[in-house]
Structures are given as structure tokens and as C-alpha cells.
Amino acid sequence: MEKTLGYLGPPGTFSHEAALNYCKGRACRLKPFATIKQIFAATANKTVDAGIVPVENSLEGSLNLTFDLLAGNIAVKIKGELHCRVRHCLLAPPGLKIEGIEKVYSHPQALAQCRRYLEKILPKAAPIAATSTTDAALQVAQYNNRGAAIASRRAAELYRLAVLQENIQDGPGENKTRFLLLAPEDASATGRDKTSLLLTLPDRPGALYAALGIFAHHNLNLTKIESRPVRGNLGKYIFFLDVTGHRKDARLAEALLETKEKNIKVKILGSYPRAENCE
């Protein structure tokens, strides 16, 4: 049966690429949303079967916002994750060559991530900000005024632009974005899973150490930890933890039981198979 997957639009964004990647070999219908919060809400009230949201190192979404929403009361679980490489491309209307480009449109962060390329190859082109990489591609296609865009390969297809150069971001090309798949229920155990947890702890020496001891003693590895102060409650901290294993696996189930016995406040955000890489 075809499932509906919500993503952060408009079409052509890197979130759209991630959603398309997820849908490869699956029967999916994609539905764009204007905000990450709307994707959480649509998933909780089952307007969509699942939603995909950026959570780390993204251009278009806010990591902080996604974490805040996960910590809140919207009834969704994490059902999966994807790690996607962000490949910035230089796009131009057919016929425009690199030497004819006078302006480069993109989201300011994409312009910043391609700064070295632009300085070297297009030192005279004026950078012009757009609200998204897709919007940059759209403007370049509409105006056709010697402007190029920095956007995804997908955006080139959508707006009939030529890809003049691929992978133009600075650095060793490690520009990955992590996306989470949200659904009303998390995933079944596969044998190679991880579980995301939210711990609320008092702000005192040793509180985190004691909590982590429970996981260490059960030989569970942490793959991520991040502390955040609780809004409006300065005496407490919350921690996002990713641990190896499914919440129904014996060792993790025992560890979670032990946190309960020790009155440590844990919210299970979801168990799901470890990252799929999208290309």
C-alpha cells in the first residue's frame, strides 16, 4: 500500500532529495510542508504515514527546533534515520557558460559553504541571497539574466537548468545531513538497531555519570550524547543519548528498567535500524 511521507518543502530542497532517497524501492507519495513543526503535527494526527525531518548539520532546517520538538509533547516516535551527503551544484540556464555568469543566487549558508569555489572560479560574480536553494534555482530559471544558482541536482531537473559543476562545497566533502524518519510508532527490532533517549537530570556533579553507568554496565555503547539546558528551568539539564540496541533487546530493556528503579526520568524517543546512507 502506498504510504504518504511528509518532508520540508518546497520540492528540490535537500530534504526533498532525502525523502526521494528514502522512497526508492518503496511505494511512497511525497507531501511537502512549510515547517518542521507541521511535519511533527501531521505525523502525530496521521495526516501522513511518516515524516522526514533534518536534525543535524542541515542547510534548511534547524537542529535546535527538531530537538525541541522531540523533547515536547507531540506524539511521534523516531522510526529511522538517514545520513545524506549534501552536494552543492552550480546550476545555470541552458547556454550560459561559467565565464558569462555575473550573479550567483543561493541560501546564504550555501553561499558560505561554497565560498572558496566562488572566490576561485567566479571572483567577479555577485552573491545574491535567496530564501532556499530551490528558490535560487527558480529565480535563475525565471529571470535568465546571467545568473547561476547553487542548489541540488534535483533542483536542476525541476527547473530545467544545466549542471555546470557538481560538488562545489569547500572542504573534504563531508557535508552530511542527518534526517530522522518520524511515525506514530517506532520500528521493530532488526538486530542492528539503535535507540534515542531523552534523560532529564538534576544539575549536580555525578548525575550524568551515574546515569551513564547503567548503560556502561550493560555493555551498551553510546553513539551520541548532547546536553541542553531545560528552558525556563535552570536547575535541570536534558540529555539526548543514542545507544546501540533496540529497546526490546534484553540488555537495553534491563538498563531502561534500572533507570526507572533509580528514578531517572527517561523518555524513549524511538528504536530504529542504524543509518541508511543515501547517495
Active site residues: 177, 179
**Residue of 238, 185, 192, 180 whose CA lies nearest to 211:** 238
Cβ proximity to a copy of itself: between 78 and 130 the closer is: 130
Q: What residues pair up with 182 in beta bridges, in sequence order?
A: 51, 78
Cβ 194 vs Cβ 223: under 8 Å: yes
Q: List for the chain the helix, strand, coil content (%; round to 5).
A: 30, 35, 35
Residue 55 beta carbon to a copy of itself: minimum distance, rounded to whole angstroms: 13
Cβ proximity to a copy of itself: between 36 and 278 the closer is: 36
Q: Residue 205: enclosing H or E segment and its boundaries?
A: none
Residue 264 beta carbon to a copy of itself: minimum distance, rounded to whole angstroms: 15
Cβ proximity to a copy of itself: between 50 and 152 the closer is: 152
Residue 226 beta carbon to a copy of itself: minimum distance, rounded to whole angstroms: 5
| Interaction site with a copy of itself (CB under 8 A) | 35, 57, 62, 64, 107-109, 111-112, 115, 127-132, 135, 172, 174, 203-206, 208-210, 212-213, 215-216, 219-227, 231-232, 239
Q: What is the 3-state secondary structure (H, E, C) of 242-268?
A: EEECCCCCHHHHHHHHHHHHCCCEEEE
Give me the residue label for grid cell 531517572: 264
Q: Phi, psi at residue 219, to the nearest 5°? A: 60, 35
Residue 273 beta carbon to a copy of itself: minimum distance, rounded to whole angstroms: 18
Cβ proximity to a copy of itself: between 215 and 272 the closer is: 215
In 160-204, which ranges are E strands?
Answer: 162-166, 176-183, 193-202
